[in-house]
Amino acid sequence: MDYTDSKIIIIGYVISNLVALLMLWYSWKRPVTARALFFLLFVWAGFTNAVTSLNTPHVYLEYADFTFLPFYKSIILGFFSRNITAIVIGIAICQLMIGLSMVLKGKIFKIGCIGGILFLIGITPLGVGSGAPATIIWAIGLYFLYRKGAKNYWWSGFRKKQPSGID
């Protein structure tokens, strides 16, 4: 990795953590907006991972350099290295499902929040490669959304309120 790569990684790291803090604030104060942002985050990640795993799967091996857990490094350089595309496509499908759950309501929404929290905690040991601590901040944001629940579909939050007595 040369200086330019390091600079790009640092810029991406700072941006991801600033975005995570913003999304945490939205999760606390404006959950409808936060749901839209988490939808975009997980759908973008799922799409990006699917395309990358099909076109340049070897780039995922670089995460072994970022992890601070020897256990993760041995998985990345072992089993994962022999099955990159299949594993990452599975991850991408899960990311897309988590994203979709953000626009839905009830139990599906809550299951999506739990899945997102578990996923984000699971990738935290990838260190700067996952943007950590952004992953923990996002997980906390999803926890806030989980606690608030979703009795309505995401887009219901954008409807104009009707005056009392008019339906």
165 assigned to some structural domain: no
Q: Residue 102 pLDDT more than 60?
A: yes
Give the distance from CA 105 to its chain's centroid: 19
Contact yes or no for 107/151 (Cβ under 8 A): no
Does the residue 64 lie in any domain?
A: yes
Q: Is residue 35 part of a domain?
A: yes
In a domain, 87, yes or no: yes
Say if 166 falls within a structural domain.
Answer: no
81-90, 94-103, 115-124, 150-159: the lowest-pLDDT one = 150-159
**Digit-coded pLDDT (tens) for 18-58:** 999 999 999 999 999 999 999 999 999 999 999 999 999 99
Buried b (16+ CB within 10 A) or exposed e, 77-107: eeebeeebeebbbebbebbbbbbbbbbbeee
Asked whether residue 161 is domain-assigned, the answer is: no
pLDDT at 2 over 60: no
**Is 42 inside any structural domain?**
yes
Report the percentage of the chain scoring pLDDT > 90. 81
Q: Which structural domain, as residue segments, surrounds residue 18? A: 7-153
Q: Answer yes or no: are the C-beta atoms of 28 and 144 closer than 8 Å.
A: yes
Q: Is residue 116 part of a domain?
A: yes
Residues 121-147: what's their mean pLDDT? 96
Count of structural domains within the chain: 1
